[in-house]
Amino acid sequence: MPSSAAGSHRSARASRFPRWRPWLMGGLGVVLALLWVPAAALPLPPSAPPFGAVASNPPPENAADFKPDVIYQVVIDRFFDGDPSNNDPVGDTGMYSADHSNWHAYWGGDLVGLTQKLPYIAGMGVTALWISPVVDNVHSPLFYNGSPLPNAGYHGYWARDDYQIDSHFGTWADFDRLVQTAHQMGIKLIIDFAANHSNPNGGGDGGNLYQDGKLVANYNDDIAGWFHHNGGIFNFDDLYSDEYENLFDLADLAQENPQVDAYLKGAITRFLQHGVDGIRFDAVKHMPGGWLTTVNDMIQAEGPHYLVGEWPSSGIADPLHTSQLRFANTSGMALLDFSMNAAIDNVFATGDSMVELDGTQQHINQDFLWPLDQPLFIDNHDNPRFLNKRMSHDLLNDALAFTLTAPGIPIIYYGTEQYLFDNTNGGNDPYNRPMMASFSTTTPAYQLISALGHLRHQNPALAYGSLRSLVLGQDVYIYERQFGNNVVLVAMNRSLNKALSLASLATNLPTGRYSDALGGRFGGGDLLVNRDGSTPGMTMQPSEVAVWQFTAAEPSTPLLGSVGPEQTHPGDALILDGEGFGNVATGGRVEIGSSVATVKSWSAHSITVQVPPIQGGLYTLRVCPFAEPCSNRLVARVASGPQVPVTFRVTGLPDLAPADQVYLTGDTPELGNETGMKELAIGPLIGPILDHTSKFLLVSVPACQTLTYHFFVVHHDGTQTVEAGPEHMMVVPCTGESSVTALWQA
């Protein structure tokens, strides 16, 4: 948001989940913690070396599949100053605070400094890096509430020119060096991109927008209609207000304008050309979902990438929960998991029951088509840090252990591993963005992240596995992640002063004796598993966290763990990841529904295919080696073809009650295939609160097609009124953007 071990029968493999040699990885040998024996008689290995040594991470071979990854989020300006010469650059001066006394100014962090610190980041097992926006921000400072101190776009969310790198951060050459170095170290790169707005319209650069240094849009002389001029957001629970009014004082871009559409997609394309692996889209709640769907379609046509959006939500009670889920399940973008973030905060910082974690996960599994793609996080750049709410390193360690082992993709906010925080103003923005003060590799949090970060790449249960609760109570949570025969068992006692006595567990770990993957540094010890899968009773000490794992041999039956991207169209590349696929020599087929895709590459753990010319819809996929049986099934959504944005508007509506809603449907899957069900149709349509006669919505539809469509009203009592007369018709352009207006047929 803008500012104002391994099993003894396992064969080594160079793959998505490479197997590291024990004791050669500076303490990461503890993740090879299983000593499998038929009887629990063998001794444990000698003490493990220290955590935190730099590891050779696996290469980012599949940028669409981030499930095995740990993402590290960095606010570039507050990380490390590697090039002091750009702190107050020529042409963009007067917004640098050398003594860091002005929290709203630049402090010197840059791309060169971030590149220099990549070994530190890699040492945590991090294999994806999310950086704050690097585009050129406002050149003129803003002064708020009479303050004499300048406010600058150090955070990156006040874009002035989306085609240039901000001179405080470096150059395109510096950016390329970061991408190349990260890739060499097995780290993917995610850029943050704010497509909702330009910059504040009340000062500074006045909302104006540039392209490669040339003015293209003037907010106060907006002849071409690049911006909305509807005032600030009146109601954050109303999608029209969210999407067509200004977020705070930020100049709201009109994505329905073909020039704006081309400008933003062109800027995104430039970053793709510079090798980024994913994009985090700021404020997706405040942009038309149909337009963002066409952005996803454009990006994935260039090759599979991971896309994630920011849609703050209070969970199932949120008034826009249904709209949020519709977006997540149809746009091709994952969403930052604010529901689980709230649960983590409630449980570990506030003291609510651990039961909330399990209940929230159940809702996520039920609501999202691809729950494992939703990222988990504790801290971020918009909210006070965990330690501002609860000053307990032990509880933060517990929260980190959960985030790194629960379903979803973990995000670590920079400095959390150093227990970084500032209590000024409760740690609210901008005090949740202090300068990185230490790069120690010996803090307990760094060691914990290091062990579990590398374990995510060793054991696919953490990337692709299901979750089963074994023990759940006020202070205790013991759960198991499983993918095939790969198992990770996690146990934690959140209490700071009470030990807990537990009865025998019924685990899916094979018979044997297991050492704690955290090396006992958080209180865990050995775990014995009997031949019947039971364990002896145990006592968990206060703040104890333990992780035991079994990494199975290559399965004889293929296991499908990931399909990406989840939304694609015919002709695009689709990547399937998992285990037991065989090799190029054995080969096989990939089924998308009843169709067989063209195989581009095939290995034991990753297959790339080309989507065949099939009709749009939600399809099940499976891998079938020639030596069957076939794998389990996952789903992906196939569009009818390349997508373009079209604004559909209906006028002359009948009298609508405040709770009545208007929907659109038509003869293509993107329009719901002529359905009369509001759950499958497009909508509800939106409009200004005082306009009861017309509604509209920007929708993603297949290019170069002739569509028929109609509207219907769902009344507050559940009854429907459907348009009379013939279907409306339109010809969708092959490129660009369009709009169409239809008169309601009574």
Q: Which helix (H) or strand (E) holds 704?
A: none
3-state secondary structure 332-358: CCEECCHHHHHHHHHHHHHCCCCHHHH
Residue by residue, DSSP assigns 556-595 as SS-EEEEEESSEE-TTSEEEEEEE----TTT-EEEEETTE
- Three-class SS state of 160: strand
Going by their DSSP bridges, the two strands 188-193 and 278-281 should be labelled as parallel
Residue by residue, DSSP assigns 99-118 as TS--TTSB----HHHHHHTH
Determine the Cα angle at 460 with ends 458 and 461, to 5°.
Answer: 120
Q: Which residues pair with 165 in a beta bridge?
A: 135
From the list 357, 353, 346, the residue with the least C-alpha distance to 406 is 357
CA distance 484 to 701: 39
Could you give the angle at which helices 289-301 and 258-273 cross, rounded to 10 degrees?
40
From the list 567, 579, 578, the residue with the least C-alpha distance to 611 is 567
Q: How far is CA 138 from CA 168, 209, 510, in A?
A: 11, 9, 59
Which residues are annotated as catalytic?
Answer: 282, 310
8 A C-beta contact, residue 547 and residue 585: no
- Measure CA of the first residue to CA of the last residue in the chain; give whole Å: 43
In our burial notation (b when 16+ CB lie closer than 10 A, e otherwise), range 616-642 reads beebebbbbbeeeebbeebebbbbbbb
The amino acid present at 584, given as its one-letter code, is V
- CB-count exposure of residue 185 (10 Å: 0-12, 13-18, 19+): buried
CA distance 593 to 617: 10
